[in-house]
Each structure stands twice: as structure tokens, then as C-alpha cells.
Structure 1
Amino acid sequence: MLASPLHLEIGAGAVEGVPQLLHDRYISTTGSVLVAVGPSTGAEIWERLEPALPGATFHAVHEASLAAATELQAALGERGYDAVVAIGGGKTLDVAKYAATRAGIPMIAVATNLAHDGICSPVASLEHAHGKGSFGVAMPLSVVVDLDYVRAAPTPLVSGGVGDVVSNLSAIEDWLLAGAERGEPVDGLALAFARTAAEAVIGRTDSVRDEAFLVVLAEALVLSGMAMAAAGTSRPCSGACHEILHAIDQLFPGTAGHGELAGLGAAFATYLRDQEDRFEQVVTCLTRHELPCLPGEIGLTEEQFVSAVLAAPETRPDRYTILEHLAMDEDRARERVAGFVAAVHRVRSTVPTPADRPLG
């Protein structure tokens, strides 16, 4: 059996239909729901929904932490809520997924940006006293993506999703490598979801300014969540790309967003595999969407990036990827990073810069 949302809606003005969704899908016929909102547009959306949800309670989520999720869980236990409706970006959704799972009630995800695949994944990434952890959670019962709010979000909170989806291709190669080298079981259905999501996005020439692209990107992020649900692990969407991401987060926190780092990690991992055509495709896609492909574009020196590459395997000691396979020492890692930087410049010399392209 495959866990999945029972309802998905992507479109302009989609949030207006949330009260009707709760009623028509028999999630809450009384409107007794807790509405968890993020610090940006969540409160504004709540004000629009409040008249149609007289039995609802408001709860502000200020950070993506285990403490915030525990606080929300406690609030859910104060009365017999039918569901929690989470409105905001990935951080707010992760807090609500964790709290709803622990409280044993359904959760509705109302996404206001497309920064990464957390909108539908069975994983919540939360900070705690010792860093950041990934926690297994139930998937949202329903996912709503309002394109009006997505378009109004800062561009990195939308284009970041491109980097996260494209990184699926690198994660897939790592999973297949683990299967060949270590006999790790590989789930074909999970691969199909993850690959379809990435391929749907990587070759498109339109941008986050175009509604058609936003619909495909939102669908791709949902498919990525489905891939993880099918696999029972983040394997189909997380390999060396995310090991590098986590290492950068630990060593140099605050450099860039999740999706941006995932895309950069995927570009480097693809370079390590000597997959020239795929490498060119990844770099071209990231460049088209103004996402970082070089250490300097996230404020790191090549030496700092080398240190992140060397530290990356320790972030997921149970996972076998191209990094574990190559087992590079410092000199070899430095050599490959220098080669990677040069290769990115070669590819970019043939790619039109954003200023050369008309706006969507």
C-alpha cells in the first residue's frame, strides 16, 4: 500500500477553497481545526479564512524547531480538533507535520512557496539543541498550493524547489550505485516517481515567472514526496547532494537555502561521476533559474567547499553514495573541486545569462 495525499489542488486563489475542502472531504464538518501559520503570509491568509472557519483556532509558528513542534502538539491536545491546517513555507509545514503525527490527527498543507520538496514528504526537518534532525512523519492528508502567494514569494523561495527536484537525479544514481556495490534494495516505483519529477523540470525553458512552470514544479515536488513515501526512506531524493548540503549547513550555517544547496551538491556529485551530458544539463538548468553552481556563489571559498565535501559522508554514515565510493583524501578532493569549478565555467560559457533572456 502506498501512502499519499487524498487531495491535491494547485492554482491561483486555491486557499479560498480550504473551508469547502474540509467539509466536502469530511475532514472537519464543524470547522474545529487548528490553523498553524508561518511568520510571513500565513497570518494574512488566516484573516481571509477566519470568517468561514468560526470554530478554528489560530496558532503562530515562528521557527522550524523541535520545541516549536512540541508546543504545537501540546496545543492540539487542548481540545478535540478534527485536523490541523498549516499555512506557510516548508518550515511551518514541517512543524505541523511533526505535531499532527504525534497528536494522531490529519494535517492539511497549504503551501505559499515552492522552496523544497517538504510540502508533501513524509519527513520533517527540525532544529534541536544538537543541530538539525530529520524525523519520519505522516504525509499531509491534503495539499493546496496557491499560485498567487507562490508568485508573490521571494524568488529564491520558489526557484529553490528546482534545485531540490533536480537533485533527485543525483540521488537516484547514488541509490543505484549502492545497489550495485552493496546489494542495497532499490525500489523501482520510488525511482519512477523521483525521476519523473526531475525530468519534468530540468529541460523546461520557461521560468518561475510562468504559471505553467509553477504548476509543473509544484507537481514535481509532490511526486518527490511520493517517491520517499514509496521507498520508506529519503533515498530516492537524497544522496551525495544532500550529504554536501548538510555538511555546509553544519560548517557554514546560513549560506543558502535547502534547495539551492541541494542543486549545488547535485552538480558536484554529477561531475564526480563523469556524466558529461547530464552535468551540462544540470548546470544549464540551475543557471537558467539563477541558482548557485559554484562555491563562491554561496559565499564559500574553494577550500571551504573542499572541507564540506570531506565532512559530507559523516552527515549520513548509513548512506553509500559517490562520495563514499570514491573515498577522496584532501588532495584529491581539492583537485576535483578545482576541476568542477572549471567545468561549470565551460558549460556556462555556452548558456545565455538571465539578462540575455526575455522575462516570462
Structure 2
Amino acid sequence: MPVLTRLVPSPLFVEIRSGALDSLAGILADQRLSTSGRIAVAISDGSGTVLRERLEPDLPGADWYEVTDGSLDSAVRLADQVRAGHYDAMVGLGGGKIIDAAKYAAARVGLPLVAVATNLAHDGLCSPVSTLDNDAGRGSYGVPSPIGIIVDLDVISKAPRRFVAAGIGDVISNISACADWELSHTVTGEPIDGLAIAMARSAGENLLRHPGTLDEPGLLTTLAEALVLSGIAMNIAGSTRPSSGACHEICHALDVLYPKRSAQHGEQVGLGAAFATYLRGDHRLAGLIVERLASHGLPVTAAQIGFTEAEFTKAVDYAPNTRPGRFTILEHLDLSPSDIRDAYADYVQAVNS
């Protein structure tokens, strides 16, 4: 008899609303994660310190650990610190770097993790991957997804606007990533997962079509929900495939080639998605992506994030090296540097017309 259903890995709970942060202790108790209040809380040494002062009276049994950066060393150090604490759960409170470090540390010591976002810069909020800086540059490490997600819209509304906008670029890039996955299925026979594609692409389309601005709670809610859907799509696929294609290859190439000059992850993948869509020949969709990115102040040309045409051409040429074995429009076209330069010049002309 065929298997008629499958289990979909997803968070036990998702709280996206105003005031959610003030309910953290109650949420942990209600979900039977920590009725004793014995939790380890990973925070940044910036905004995390301010939020600690606000939350500490409601979490008397918590121990607080400052995470200085998003490096593998910091994540390992955090794991070593909490190992002997006999905690019920770990809470990662902060932006993407803190949550990624907390995901890795929680996996290392076998604790369930609750991700509490203070900004919405990228889809690491719910993904089964920790992206951490290491001696070789930056690496992606497979980890269990958070067991719970808490997004307080009041906190998000106070986050740096650029970080929140970057999250929109990351989610919209799903549209290009899914197109790359489908292209690979057609050309190479790579299996695809229709449910993962449906969730990831829907998340991207929700942001592409949303008319709101970053000042509106409605858009912030849509963005938070889309980031969660992107993470679940990756869980379903068992890889980053539904959210990472040529767009991310270009981003990683910029990080590798120009490590001290790279912009926000979501800014780079948004630009990468627009250009990859243009290369795919879908100029109408590329125009829609450019229009939506620009409406939120996101870059749509390399010059807007400080790269010359030659530097961007070099990054696109190098991009396939960042994900060996992944087939995208870049591998399919196999463009020469001069072809890339000409295609990018045409893209810029179209953007500026």
C-alpha cells in the first residue's frame, strides 16, 4: 500500500504579533518546554542587553549568555558554556547571527531552541541551517530547525530599516531559486519537491505582490510569515534548494571575492535574483522584482552596493564554484566573462529605462 501522507517538519508553535516578547515565559510554560523556567538565553551584546533588562524579571530561572558574533568559534563556545547547565531549552534572542549561533549550540548539546527574532533580515529564522563565519570564510551547517518561533512586531518595527528590507530581498529570491530548481529538473533530471516549491514560491510571491511599506504592520506580518514558510520549505526539501539558486551563488561569490565589502545578505540575493531572472529570459518578471526591491530601498544594480561592472562580472563568473553540484541558470548558460558583462550591461540598461 502506498504511503498516503507524510510528516512535515515544522515548528511546534509560531507566535507573530505585537507584544509576543512580553509573553515569552508564559509561552514556554504553555508549550511544556520549560515549566521550571530553567532556560539558557543567547543574546547579542547590543540590543540583546537592552531586552535582557526588560525580560529578566519575568525569567528568574534563566541564565544569559552574550554571543559576540556569528562565528563558528562563538557558537562552539556557547555550547560549551551551556553544556552543564541542566536547562530545559535554549532561547536565541536577536538577529540572524545570534539565532544561527544559538541553533548550532542547541544542536550540539541536544536542547530544543526557541528563536526570538529582533529583526527579519533573512530566512535563517526557521531554516535547518546555521550560517557561521569560520577560518575559510563562511560555512553552512545542518542543524535542527527551531522548535518555536516568536516575532514581536513592536520590536521588529524598531529594528534598523535596512535589516528588515533585506529580509524582503531574501524571500523574493525564492522565486528565482524555485525556477532554478525546476530548470535543473528539466535539464538534468534532478528530483523536485512540489510542496517545498509551492511553499517557498508562495512566500516570495506574497512579498512581490504586497503593496505595503515597511512602516505598516501588515507588511511586517507578511514578511515574518514568509520567512517561516521559507524555513519549512527547506525542511521539507531536506536542503536549501527551494530558497537558494543562482541568486545565492552570486551572493556567496561576492562574499568570497570581496569579504570586507559585501552588503547585507538579503540585499545581495535580491539583486542576484533580479539578474538571474533576466538571464532566464523572463524580463517581465525581472522588471517586477526590480520594481519591488527598489520600492523598499533595496539595490537593483551592483553599483548601488559599491561594486563595479567588472567586479560584478567576476563574481557571476565565479558564482558556480560556491555551490558545486548545484545546477542553476548560471551553469545552464555557462556564459563567458564577456557574455556576462554584456548581459549585465543589457540588464542595467533595462533597469534604468
Counterpart of 1:351? none
Please give the alpha-carbon distance, in whole angstroms, between the structure 2 residues aligned to 1:40 and 1:238.
30
Please give the alpha-carbon distance, in whole angstroms, between the structure 1 residues aligned to 2:49 and 2:20.
16
Please give the alpha-carbon distance, in whole angstroms, between the structure 1 residues aligned to 2:103 and 2:298.
28
Counterpart amino acid of residue 223 in structure 2: L
Deviation at 1:39, TM superposition (A): 2.9
Please give the alpha-carbon distance, in whole angstroms, between the structure 1 residues aligned to 2:245 and 2:229.
17
- Does 1:344 find its partner at 2:351? yes
Counterpart of 1:86? 92
Q: 1:121·1:226 contact (CA, 8 Å) conserved in 2?
A: yes
Counterpart amino acid of residue 116 in structure 1: H
Counterpart amino acid of residue 193 in structure 2: D
Q: 1:163·1:291 contact (CA, 8 Å) conserved in 2?
A: yes
Cα deviation 1:4-42 (Å, max 9, x = unaligned): 111111122211011001111110111110010023321
Cα deviation 1:114-172 (Å, max 9, x = unaligned): 10111111111001111100111111111001112211111111010110000000000
SS for the counterpart of 2:220 is: helix
Correspondence for 2:200 among 194, 200, 221: 194
The share of aligned pairs that are identical, in percent, is 49
Counterpart of 1:283? 290
Counterpart of 1:176? 182
Counterpart amino acid of residue 280 in structure 1: G
Counterpart of 1:10? 16
Please give the alpha-carbon distance, in whole angstroms, between the structure 2 residues aligned to 1:39 and 1:212.
30
- Does 1:333 find its partner at 2:340? yes
Q: 1:267·1:293 contact (CA, 8 Å) conserved in 2?
A: yes
The list of structure 1 runs, each at least 4 consecutive aligned residues, that deviate by more than 2 angstroms after superposition, is: none
Counterpart of 1:61? 67
Correspondence for 1:33 among 26, 29, 39: 39
Q: 1:35·1:46 contact (CA, 8 Å) conserved in 2?
A: no
SS for the counterpart of 1:260 is: helix
- Does 1:131 find its partner at 2:137? yes
Counterpart of 1:266? 273
Counterpart amino acid of residue 16 in structure 1: D
Counterpart amino acid of residue 337 in structure 1: Y
Counterpart of 1:318? 325
TM-score normalised by length of structure 2: 0.97
Please give the alpha-carbon distance, in whole angstroms, between the structure 1 residues aligned to 2:52 and 2:45.
12
The runs of 5 or more residues in structure 2 that have no matched partner are 1-6
Correspondence for 1:160 among 162, 166, 182: 166
Q: 1:306·1:334 contact (CA, 8 Å) conserved in 2?
A: yes
- Does 1:19 find its partner at 2:25? yes
Please give the alpha-carbon distance, in whole angstroms, between the structure 1 residues aligned to 2:247 and 2:38.
41
Deviation at 1:303, TM superposition (A): 0.5
Q: 1:108·1:143 contact (CA, 8 Å) conserved in 2?
A: yes
Counterpart of 1:352? none
**Any residues of structure 2 matched to 1:237-276 within 5 Å, and which?**
237-253=243-259, 254-276=261-283
Q: 1:40·1:88 contact (CA, 8 Å) conserved in 2?
A: no
SS for the counterpart of 2:157 is: helix
Counterpart of 1:51? 57
Counterpart of 2:308? 301
Counterpart amino acid of residue 266 in structure 1: A
Cα deviation 1:329-355 (Å, max 9, x = unaligned): 111111111111111112xxxxxxxxx
Correspondence for 1:185 among 187, 191, 206: 191
Counterpart amino acid of residue 209 in structure 1: D
Please give the alpha-carbon distance, in whole angstroms, between the structure 1 residues aligned to 2:229 and 2:351.
29
Please give the alpha-carbon distance, in whole angstroms, between the structure 2 residues aligned to 1:332 and 1:39.
46
Counterpart amino acid of residue 320 in structure 2: P
The runs of 5 or more residues in structure 1 that have no matched partner are 347-360
Correspondence for 2:214 among 208, 214, 218: 208
Counterpart of 2:3? none
Please give the alpha-carbon distance, in whole angstroms, between the structure 2 residues aligned to 1:144 and 1:7.
8
Please give the alpha-carbon distance, in whole angstroms, between the structure 2 residues aligned to 1:62 and 1:109.
17
Please give the alpha-carbon distance, in whole angstroms, between the structure 1 residues aligned to 2:233 and 2:214.
23
Q: Greater CA deviation, 165-174 or 10-19?
A: 10-19
Counterpart of 2:4? none
Please give the alpha-carbon distance, in whole angstroms, between the structure 2 residues aligned to 1:174 and 1:255.
24
**Coordinate RMSD, CA, aligned:** 0.8
- Does 1:95 find its partner at 2:85? no
Counterpart of 1:358? none
- Does 1:147 find its partner at 2:134? no
Counterpart amino acid of residue 349 in structure 2: A
Please give the alpha-carbon distance, in whole angstroms, between the structure 1 residues aligned to 2:42 and 2:190.
39
Please give the alpha-carbon distance, in whole angstroms, between the structure 2 residues aligned to 1:286 and 1:30.
45
- Does 1:112 find its partner at 2:88? no
